Structure 1
């Protein structure tokens, strides 16, 4: 059993979770103007994927570009990990590879996991909710074990074009019913940067 094997229904039963689908969960978060470089990358990306339904490598590249821009815009010490083994509790199935993981630390080791990002290979992002929430549970458990004062874990499922955000507080998962298109990258950046900066402020 690993992160990718979990379905949403299995997680609810196994970890006694509550699921709360919420409209505009992050609507109050302000937009953040992206760089001209990222605007250009997104324009090229959208031109490439127009009419293409297959999962191509540059889907993940645009995800990485957005995450790196968010990281570089912050003064907070933040590390971005890609294709990283994040094995927390193999007996519970909380192990495997994370496509992307944001940690509040300057180290090259995961010490304060905050955001788990799953790269979807489908336009149906719901298929990957279980995988993402399983990784969020692992981050929550890791922080508990390390006595980190991080009470809210965030998650993202994206295929590069569409971005769906969620958060885990205790045993309740709040899922934003809105999936943001990459053309609204300023909103996506605003959500990413706000979750990081707000959490960093709270744990000072």
Structure 2
């Protein structure tokens, strides 16, 4: 069993003994939006419609998801570790092993995963719900990974189709919050950037206002 075998959020929630609440994170955990840079806006303007027209995971990843995540790395002066398609094996016995679509960490070492903070799953068949179980399992793995090094921080997760994003938060007390809202690209891009940056501002201790 691996991350991708968790087909529903309910399966992962029950397996790992989580307590789930569905909330509007904009209300319970508001974050400041971040205006996209000119560079990011140009990249999305050039590739966004093409990604939607072709509509494969690969092209959505290349033309929408990756530019957005790299924007976050730039905002933190590349103090964030960026991993794509990386194996993240924490506990094979619990199904906490396999490949992560994207993993962002609060450490800039490009070769070693340290202190995972945000894990992101690309939704299969453009279904956000279909990616939630996998994302939750990866968040649990990140929580356990951090605990081994004495790091007790909330883990952020996201599932995206490229143009739609849903966020999750897992707390050290096994409380899982799933955002009731979905955020749209391009109309809510600034909100997405703010939500992605939030955990790193907490861990690294500085803001990323401005472009």
Q: TM-score, normalised by structure 2?
A: 0.88
Corresponding residue of 1:111: 114
Aligned to 2:15: 14
Residue 205 of structure 2: aligned partner: 201
Residues 1-204 of structure 1: matches in 2 within 5 Å?
1-6=1-6, 7-25=8-26, 28-50=30-52, 52=53, 54-61=55-62, 62-75=64-77, 77-107=79-109, 108-148=111-151, 150-169=152-171, 170-183=173-186, 184-201=188-205
Deviation at 1:99, TM superposition (A): 0.4
Structure 1: gaps spanning 5 or more residues:
none
Preserved contact between residue 90 and residue 96 of structure 2 (Cα < 8 Å): yes
TM-aligned CA deviation for residue 158 of structure 1: 0.5
Q: CA 1:42–1:4 in 2, change beyond 3 Å: closer, same or farther?
A: same
The alpha carbon displacement at 1:77 in A equals 2.1
Measure, in 1, the Cα distance between the counterparts of 2:10 and 2:179.
18
Partner of 1:105, secondary structure, is: coil
Secondary structure at 2:124 match in 1: coil
C-alpha distance in 2 between matches for 1:162 and 1:38 = 17
Deviation at 1:124, TM superposition (A): 2.1
Shift of 1:75: 4.3
TM-score (norm 1): 0.91
Distance in 2, matches of 1:56 and 1:145, equals 33
Displacement of 1:136:
0.3
Q: Distance in 1 between matches of 2:200 and 2:77?
A: 10
Q: What do the CA deviations read for 1:47-95 (whole angstroms, capped 9, x no partner)?
A: 2245x37425220011111001011101472101000000000001000
SS in 1 for 2:137: helix
CA distance in 2, matches of 1:46, 1:75: 25
Q: Partner of 1:30: helix, strand, or coil?
A: coil
36-45 vs 113-122, which moves further:
36-45
